[in-house]
Amino acid sequence: MAIRRVLVDEGLLLELLFGRPLPLCQGDRLWELFLQGQLQGYVTDFALQLVGRYAMRVHNSTTIAATLTQVGTLLRCCPVDQTMLHAAQRSQLGLPFALQAAVVAQLGLDGIVTHRPLDYVTDTGEGEVLVYTPGHLLGEYAVGGLDARRSSLETLYQDDPALDQRSWLGRLESVEVCCGQDRPTATVRLQSPLGYIHQETASGVGPVDAALRALNLAVSHYIPVADVQMVYYRCLATTADSPVSAMVLLERQMALFPGRGFHLDVVMASIEAYLDALGYLIVCDRL
């Protein structure tokens, strides 16, 4: 897998250095990606100033120097120039997030890694950059063959084409949606990885809601999803007959798992996005 160049969100950087541990030990694993050279990390000069000010309030001078040395060793500093400032001022994002998105766009980085991806989402999608959560990156690198060391034990993830996060979800057999005077209903038919067929029907406030409810019921037969919540959903299409882009965010144990889906049909795009997010969740569980 190619080495990705990602900007570390200033909020995530503070969490990694001073805050509470991220769910599923994602903070430690993310640092290892930087240490091993699997990821190239970048931060803005504004973020470094914020780290320095925070460190001065909670640590002594020796610890401050060690913290800044650690950040300087692992992450490269990106000064914010006037062009980036002007781009941020035109953005619909909040200024701290718009500045970081402008840095990514100006320097041609691969994206931003953050534990709060909704901060980088606009209503129109204009000016957005690719956003990763720590779990998202860890899942992709695990599938690509990441060597990770935990507590002096080494776990080897082989680069196996069959190791696909969607393979653990089974196969989507069919989706039927019925809309009319009553509440929309949807029937989803799934084949589990072991070959069992699970079919569920649910109703919702709209066809997408009904389809996702039925999908969740079908998946729950072989994957525990009782504590998984969908906290964000967005669907965009440029014209009535253009492909639809759907994005969902699933949350479990304070960790966010993004997913995207593309299809000519809005319901199918939404289902693809949900399955994509659920696949990343499963990958992170198996790290």
Q: Which residues contact 137 (CB under 8 A, 6 or more apart)?
A: 4, 6, 30, 33, 39, 113
Q: Both 80 and 172 in a single domain?
A: no
Residue 113, domain extent: 4-156
On whether residue 162 sits in a domain, the answer given is: no
**Shared-domain flag, residues 9 and 130:** yes
Q: Which residues pair with 132 in a beta bridge?
A: 113
Describe the crossing of helices 61-74 and 45-58 by its angle, rounded to 10 degrees. 150
How far is CA 82 from each of CA 88, 103, 255, 256, rounded to the nearest angstrom? 10, 11, 35, 33
> What's the pLDDT at 223?
84
- C-alpha 104/C-alpha 127 separation (Å) is 11
Predicted confidence at residue 25, as pLDDT, reads 61
> What is the C-alpha R_g of the chain?
21
In this structure, the answer to whether residues 103 and 227 fall within a common structural domain is: no
**DSSP class of 21:** P
Last residue of a domain, one of 131, 156, 181: 156
Cα–Cα separations (whole angstroms), residue 13 to 10, 71, 90: 5, 9, 25
Is 180 exposed, middle or buried, given 0-12, 13-18 or 19+ CB atoms closer than 10 A? Answer: exposed
212 in a structural domain: yes
Rounded Cα–Cα distance for residues 13 and 15 (Å): 5
> Would 98 be classed as within a structural domain?
yes
Structure-block tokens of residue 242: 């253009």
Same domain, 123 and 177: no
Q: Is residue 161 part of a domain?
A: no
Is 182 in the same domain as 261? yes
What CATH number is associated with residue 257?
3.30.160.270
> pLDDT per residue over 252-287, tens digit each?
877 788 888 888 899 999 999 999 888 888 777 665
Spans of the chain, pLDDT less than 50: 143-163
CA dist 6 and 240 (Å) reads 35
Number of domains in the chain: 2
Residue where a domain stops, chosen among 156, 183, 201 = 156
Whether residue 57 is found in the same domain as residue 191? no
Q: Is residue 35 part of a domain?
A: yes
Long-range contacts made by residues 237-246, C-beta under 8 angstroms, separation at least 24? 237/266, 243/269, 244/269, 245/269, 246/270, 246/272, 246/273
Q: Give the Cα separation of 21 and 257 in Å (integer).
A: 17
**Domain identity same for 139 and 21:** yes
Q: Check whether residue 35 and residue 117 sit in a common domain.
A: yes
Which amino acid does the sequence have at 170? G
Please, what is the Cα angle at 266 between 260 and 271, to 5 degrees? 50
47 and 70 in a single domain? The answer is yes
Is there a domain that residue 136 lies in?
yes
Q: Is there a single domain that holds both residue 23 and residue 93?
A: yes
Last residue of a domain, one of 156, 191, 212: 156
Residue 180, CA distances (Å) to 88, 126, 175, 209 in order: 45, 35, 17, 15
Same domain membership, residue 186 and residue 109: no
CATH number of the domain within which 32 lies: 3.40.50.1010
124 and 16 within one domain: yes
In a domain, 176, yes or no: yes
207, part of any domain: yes
Residue 141, pLDDT score = 63
